[in-house]
């Protein structure tokens, strides 16, 4: 007699996240093909800054899973037990606040300078718009598309540049962005670099416009 009862649902006790959704999907397929019980899940809120999808696994298999994914050149952003307090420590309150409540989002019509950064390998696309009067930034807005850390970095950069003179912007580097956000996980340090590159791109655009205007 056939057993028509539904199969028992898999319930893991650890979660791994990745840089973006396609990587998470690939990781799940690799793990299942290798016989590891796992499933795609929406990560806890702390993890959603890293990726919209995670893979739930059994914690006791984490070492062999890490080895397998490393061999397949699949980079893990974070792996933490679902019952562990460590998940709440992945991103600090400043990063989470700027992700959930990004400042100065949008474009500036007739902006005096525009910075742009696009990195398809990291799924990052961001713009920075500046309004400038007498060499001082009077308004800054940004649009950032990517993981939550990217959104947080795009938000904080508008606060860092506002009120600054254009000749002061060279001091806003990746380290300054990281410090303003209270410190990013190493796997997300590239988002601070992205924000600094946005500023450098906007400065270059401003200087180009000034040269044409002379």
Helix (H) or strand (E) holding 194: helix 189-213
- Summarize pLDDT for 53-96 with one digit per residue, the tens: 789 898 788 889 989 999 999 988 777 666 544 444 567 889 88
* Structural fold of domain 14-89: Alpha-Beta Plaits (3.30.70)
pLDDT confidence band for 168 (50 / 70 / 90): very high
For the ranges 84-93, 148-157, 173-182, which has the lowest average pLDDT?
84-93
Percent of the chain beyond pLDDT 70?
Answer: 85
User: Has residue 124 got a pLDDT over 60?
Assistant: yes
For the ranges 15-29, 98-112, 191-205, which has the lowest average pLDDT?
15-29
In 7-75, where do the E strands start and end?
14-17, 39-41, 54-57
Tokens of 74: 């699949």
Please give the CATH architecture assigned to the domain spanning 96-213. Alpha-Beta Complex (3.90)
Give the relative orientation of helices 21-33 and 62-71 as an angle to the nearest 10 degrees.
110
pLDDT of residue 5: 40
pLDDT of residue 47: 57
User: Has residue 1 got a pLDDT over 60?
Assistant: no
What is the 8-class DSSP label of residue 165?
B
pLDDT confidence band for 148 (50 / 70 / 90): confident
User: Please, where in the chain does CATH 3.30.70 lie?
Assistant: 14-89
pLDDT confidence band for 49 (50 / 70 / 90): low
Nearest to 113 by CA among 192, 46, 169, 152: 169
- Summarize pLDDT for 2-20 with one digit per residue, the tens: 344 434 578 887 888 887 7
User: Please, where in the chain does CATH 3.90.1010.10 lie?
Assistant: 96-213
Q: Is 128 exposed, middle or buried (0-12, 13-18, 19+ CB in 10 A)?
A: buried
- The label of the residue with tokens 């044409």 reads 212
pTM above 0.85, yes or no: no
Query: CA-to-CA distance for 1 and 169, rounded, in angstroms?
Result: 75
């Amino acid at each position: 007699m056939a057993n028509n009862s539904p199969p028992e649902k898999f319930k893991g006790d650890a979660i791994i996240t990745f840089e973006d959704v396609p990587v998470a999907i690939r990781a799940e397929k690799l793990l299942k093909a290798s016989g590891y019980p796992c499933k795609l899940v929406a990560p806890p809120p702390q993890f959603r800054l890293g990726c919209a999808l995670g893979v739930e696994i059994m914690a006791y298999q984490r070492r062999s899973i890490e080895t397998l994914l490393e061999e397949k050149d699949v980079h893990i952003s974070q792996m933490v037990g679902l019952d562990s307090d460590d998940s709440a420590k992945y991103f600090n309150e400043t990063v989470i606040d700027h992700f959930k409540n990004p400042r100065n989002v949008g474009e500036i019509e007739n902006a005096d300078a525009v910075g742009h950064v696009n990195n398809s390998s990291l799924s990052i696309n961001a713009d920075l718009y500046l309004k400038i009067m007498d060499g001082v930034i009077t308004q800054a807005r940004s649009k950032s598309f990517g993981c939550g850390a990217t959104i947080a970095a795009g938000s904080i950069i508008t606060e860092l540049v506002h009120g600054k003179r254009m000749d002061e912007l060279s001091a806003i580097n990746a380290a300054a962005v990281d410090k303003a956000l209270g410190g990013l996980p190493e796997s997300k340090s590239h988002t601070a670099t992205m924000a600094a590159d946005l500023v450098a791109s906007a400065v270059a655009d401003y200087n180009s416009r000034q040269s044409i205007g002379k």
